[in-house]
Amino acid sequence: MASKVELMPEISDIIKELKDIKYYIEERPKELEEQQRELEKLEDKIQKVQDEHRELKKGLAKIEMDLEENRIKLKKYNNQMLLVKKEKEYNAINNEIYYTKTKIENLNSEKKEKQIKLEENRKKYEELMKKKKEMEKVVEEERKNVEEKLEELKPRYEQLNKRKEELYKEFNQDIQNKLKGIENSKKYKNKIIAKVNHGMCGACKMNLPPQTVAEIRKANKIYTCPYCGRLLYWDQDKT
């Protein structure tokens, strides 16, 4: 049993290193995918701004056409005024002139509003495009870094997993289950085993029963801390 207990620190180191590598193997690519999704959302915003730009230009073109039409009308009415002889006709044409001038004023106001919105839209588009280029650069650099890191770490990851499985087989199923449970839990912060120091668990610092400490020191059995659940071992260098 003593030789098996002495394997615990190696198992702990392997699990810690595996978790560090796992971040690059599993979590970092997920983060990269999230960055890519954010880039796609930005592209959707840009597309929306472009669509708004097209609609604004269409609206502006329509206003220009209406303005031209009403300017022609106004010119026609002004010419007719020169030929009018009856008061009734004069009043009728005068009303048309007033209405047309009002229409032109309103159209000019609408035109100004559209031009302001068009300028705001243009600035927004430029800002989004700048942000997109910056984000694309970051994502591309991150993707390259991740791919290089994966290439570098994958052999080590496979090597460590193979060694871990070899070490696990040295223990009975009960201990294997405990190791796997601790390994997969975030609670233990990569520290699955703890040295016994001065009768205390080296991780949670809680006092252990003297009999348990004695048994751990003899390395007759693998114990778990009754408080934090970590596997306990005696540092043989202190014996």
What topology does CATH give the domain 18-168? Answer: Helix Hairpins (1.10.287)
Confidence (pLDDT) at 10: 86
Taking each continuous run of H as one helix and of E as one strand, the counts in the chain are: 6, 4
Q: How many residues does the chain have?
A: 239
pLDDT in tens, the chain (239 residues): 445 777 878 888 898 888 888 888 888 888 899 999 999 999 999 999 999 999 999 999 999 999 999 999 999 999 999 988 899 999 999 999 999 999 999 999 999 999 999 999 999 999 999 999 999 999 999 889 888 888 888 899 999 999 999 998 888 888 888 888 877 777 766 677 888 888 899 888 999 988 888 888 876 677 888 888 888 887 665 54
The Cα 84–Cα 29 span in angstroms is: 82
Return the SS3 of 208.
coil
Give CATH 1.10.287.1490 domain extents, the chain: 18-168
The Cα 66–Cα 68 span in angstroms is: 5
Confidence (pLDDT) at 239: 44
Confidence (pLDDT) at 2: 44
